[in-house]
Amino acid sequence: MPVTETGGREALDEQDLRRLADAVDFTRSASTERALATALDEPGGVSAHLEFAHTAVLVAARRVDDVVAALVELGVDPVGPAPTRSARVGGRDVDVRLVRGAVPGCARGLEVSVPVAGVGSSGSDRSGWAHPVFRAPADDVVSRGVYAVLVDAGLAPDGGGHDPREDSTWLRLRGRGRVELRLPGHHADLLRRHVGRPDEARRAMFELVTGAWRTRSVAAAAELGVADLIAGGSRTTAELAERTGTRPDKLRRVLAFLGALGVLRRDGDAWELTEAGALLRADADGSLRDLARIYGGLFYRSFSALEHTLRTGGSAFEHSHGALLFEHLAAHPADARLFEGAMAAGTSFLNLVPGLLDLPATGAVVDVGGGDGRLLGLVLAAAPGLRGVLFDRPHVTGAAREVLTRLGCADRAEVVAGDFFRDPVPAGGDVYLLSRILHDWDDERASAILRNVRSAMPAGALLAVVERPILDDRSVLPLSFDVHMMVNTPRGGERTADRHRELLARNGFTLEDIRGLPLDMAVLVARATAV
């Protein structure tokens, strides 16, 4: 609707005039609790610590005088000058003039923002720009508590700042609607918590692009055995340098970096392990030392050829090392041992798998591609009435008998050599396991595995697939491992839950449930459907 030159109501478009009129009615009639309920389903007791002070509105008028005239016609008494400040509108910062007015019949008012350069007339830039503003307590402890309650209730930060002219801090939050808190004074710590540092985006990007420095520093500490040397207590830089054959002045700088990363704890020039740093000990339960070494060594070098994979579709690992991963490991025994240790380091979650399975009291469990037998042994240990079969290639199962003996179930387990692509899977089991197998292969090869397994299973038998499914677009670990598999295997990758469901359905299974494990791993529980 065009803006006329007559002033008052006629100078504002219909949407802005309606927004002002509604804001006047809301400001006059709403209680603090009702105003808070525009953003929260259940305001609860937090409303007792807030005071509904005024309603903030944004309009797209050409002149501040037109807004003043419209407010007068709506019965609002404009007060004070119209200062200028910056506001976030439609994803950009704009300068606005403020028009304040007292609403008759209550102790509250309006604060109308008028963009100096205007905003889009469609109203899309102004969506949500009419919201209640609450006066928060001056007491810093109470204000922090109120803020924490609102965030815990689901409200998300939506801008904030400090107004030096009025010496007040404003914090905007969004839930079902938008609300704003005004606190007297400059609450720098709370504001930083709310909006982050002014350089937050640059700092975040710096941390991303320097991630290689972290990886290599942790890997170097793992290679040198620093955590093992500190295990008995603190060590000075000089002691660590002497034991590792490094220069003290250079080592100290890396140790300080690891201290800032939370790997070490510093006391003068002596160093202790943190809980995270203790995981680099070779003898730690669930040690990640070999994982740090391989991610900072063999796989670190293959990631340098990521662009090769992106441009050609070829294997980055093969491009970097001259052979595919398992061919390389077959030719380099030291790397093969490191790989085995790294894979074992990432299996601590397997202890929880038996408790997530619907195991029968008796019958047979078949671990397809079961490797060293650890998962099968854990399942058998949890279910004394079951017997087990481990099925994998002969050179992989060499350690299985020892692991099963250590777990006390070798007398109930059989090791069967075979290839799950070419050889029949042992038939007649009640439960079948596929742990971290499918992510090594594309859909065609994964389907071949699943069909082979399904041909061995009676209808209704349980299939437990242990993988790291991508559950949403914020699943950083699964998404990072998806890239890792792309770089280091010719056909591997992680799958979304829907892709797992479709893959299973195409090959004779119904996915019934996804049961979470640490580090975003999961057990996908499926049943063999009737043929």
Q: Which range (290-294, 352-356, 397-401) has the least confidence? A: 397-401
Cβ atoms of residues 466 and 523 within 8 Å: yes
Residue type (1 letter), 331: A
Question: Who's near 296: CB < 8 A, 6+ residues apart?
Answer: 215, 216, 218, 219, 220, 222, 223
pLDDT one-digit tens code per residue, 485-513:
999 998 999 999 999 999 999 999 999 99
Q: Is the pLDDT of residue 7 over 60?
A: no
Render the burial of 281-318: b for 16+ CB within 10 Å, e for the rest: beebeebbbbbbbbbbbbbbebbebeebbeeeeebbbb
pLDDT one-digit tens code per residue, 409-429:
999 999 999 999 999 999 999
Strand partners, 377: none
Q: Is the pLDDT of residue 201 over 50?
A: yes
Counting Cα atoms < 13 Å in the Cβ hemisphere of 449 gives 27
Q: Higher-confidence residue: 467 or 90?
A: 467
pLDDT one-digit tens code per residue, 121-160:
444 444 457 899 999 887 888 888 888 888 888 888 888 8
Question: Who's near 347: CB < 8 A, 6+ residues apart?
Answer: 374, 375
Point out the residues that are catalytic.
439
Q: Report, as an integer, the average pLDDT of 434-453.
A: 96
Q: CA angle, 79 as apex, 87 and 8 as ends, to 5°?
A: 80
Q: CA angle, 417 as apex, 415 and 422 as ends, to 5°?
A: 140
Q: Please, is 177 exposed, middle or buried when counting C-beta atoms within 10 Å of its C-beta (0-12, 13-18, 19+)?
A: middle
Average pLDDT over the chain, rounded to an integer: 89
What is the model's pLDDT at position 121? 43
Alpha-carbon span 8 to 11, nearest angstrom: 6
What is the model's pLDDT at position 492? 93
Containing H/E element for 355? helix 353-356
What is the model's pLDDT at position 124? 42
Domains of the chain: 8-196 (3.10.180.10), 207-296 (1.10.10.10), 303-344 (no CATH), 346-528 (3.40.50.150)
Torsion of CA 359, 361, 363, 369, to 10 degrees: 30
Alpha-carbon span 218 to 264, nearest angstrom: 11
Cβ atoms of residues 181 and 147 within 8 Å: yes
